[in-house]
Amino acid sequence: MGVGASLARAAQVRPRHPATICGDRTRTWGEVGDRVSRIAGALKAMGVGDGDRVAMLGLNNDRYFELFLATPHAGGVVVPFNSRWSEAELADGIADSEPLILAADDVFLPMARRLAAGRPGLKLLAIGEERPGDIPHHEDLIAADPIPDTGRTGDDLYGIFYTGGTTGRSKGVMLSHRNVLRGANIAHCEGYYRDDATYLVAAPFFHASGSWPMIGITASAGTAVILPGFDAGAALAAIERYRCTESLLVPTMVQMLIEHPNFATTDMSSFTTIIYGASPITEALLDRALVALPHARFIQAYGMTELSPQCVALPHECLSGDYRARGVHRAGGRACYGVEMRIVDEDDNEVPRGQVGEICARGESVMLGYWRRPEETAAALRGGWMHTGDGGRMDDEGFVYVVDRVKDMIVSGGENVYSIEVESALSTHAAVRSCVVIGVPHEKWIEQVHAIVILHDGAAACEADLIAHVRARLADYKAPRSVEFRTAPFPLSPANKILKREIRAPYWAGRASSIC
Question: Which residues are near its own copies by CB under 8 A?
Answer: 1, 5-6, 8-9, 12-16, 181, 185, 188-189, 195, 219-220, 334-335, 337-341, 362-364, 394, 396-398
Residue 386's SS3 state is strand
* Contact criterion met (CB below 8 Å) for 317 and 323: yes
Give the integer Cα–Cα distance in Å for 323 and 317. 8
Task: Give the relative orientation of helices 87-97 and 109-117 as an angle to the nearest 10 degrees.
Answer: 60
Cβ proximity to its own copies: between 193 and 371 the closer is: 193
Give the integer Cα–Cα distance in Å for 208 and 277. 11
How near is the Cβ of 228 to its own copies at its closest, in Å?
Answer: 29
Cβ proximity to its own copies: between 149 and 423 the closer is: 149
How near is the Cβ of 1 to its own copies at its closest, in Å?
Answer: 5
Give the integer Cα–Cα distance in Å for 245 and 278. 20
HEC string of 162-216 equals ECCCCCCCCCEEEEEHHHHHHHHHHHHHHCCCCCCCEEEECCCCCCHHHHHHHHH
How near is the Cβ of 384 to its own copies at its closest, in Å?
Answer: 9
Cβ proximity to its own copies: between 346 and 396 the closer is: 396
How near is the Cβ of 360 to its own copies at its closest, in Å?
Answer: 13
Give the integer Cα–Cα distance in Å for 378 and 398. 27
How near is the Cβ of 363 to its own copies at its closest, in Å?
Answer: 5
Count the Cβ atoms, other than its own, within 10 Å of residue 119: 14
How near is the Cβ of 502 to its own copies at its closest, in Å?
Answer: 37
How near is the Cβ of 336 to its own copies at its closest, in Å?
Answer: 9
Give the integer Cα–Cα distance in Å for 66 and 37. 10
Residue 315's SS3 state is coil
Cβ proximity to its own copies: between 33 and 80 the closer is: 33
Q: Within a 13 Å sphere around the CA of 84, how many CA atoms are in the beta-carbon half?
A: 17
Structural element, H or E, at residue 452 = strand 446-455
How near is the Cβ of 220 to its own copies at its closest, in Å?
Answer: 6
Residue 406's SS3 state is helix
Q: Is 44 exposed, middle or buried (0-12, 13-18, 19+ CB in 10 A)?
A: buried
How near is the Cβ of 387 to its own copies at its closest, in Å?
Answer: 18
Cβ proximity to its own copies: between 129 and 155 the closer is: 155
Cβ proximity to its own copies: between 117 and 325 the closer is: 325
Q: Which residues pair with 314 in a beta bridge?
A: 300
Cβ proximity to its own copies: between 108 and 192 the closer is: 192
Give the integer Cα–Cα distance in Å for 43 and 62. 17
Q: Is 487 exposed, middle or buried (0-12, 13-18, 19+ CB in 10 A)?
A: exposed
**Which value, in Å, is the radius of gyration of the alpha carbons in the chain?**
23
How near is the Cβ of 122 to its own copies at its closest, in Å?
Answer: 35
Cβ proximity to its own copies: between 333 and 494 the closer is: 333
Cβ proximity to its own copies: between 149 and 408 the closer is: 149
Cβ proximity to its own copies: between 167 and 272 the closer is: 272
What value, to the nearest 5°, has the Cα angle with vertex 273 and ends 242 and 163?
Answer: 95
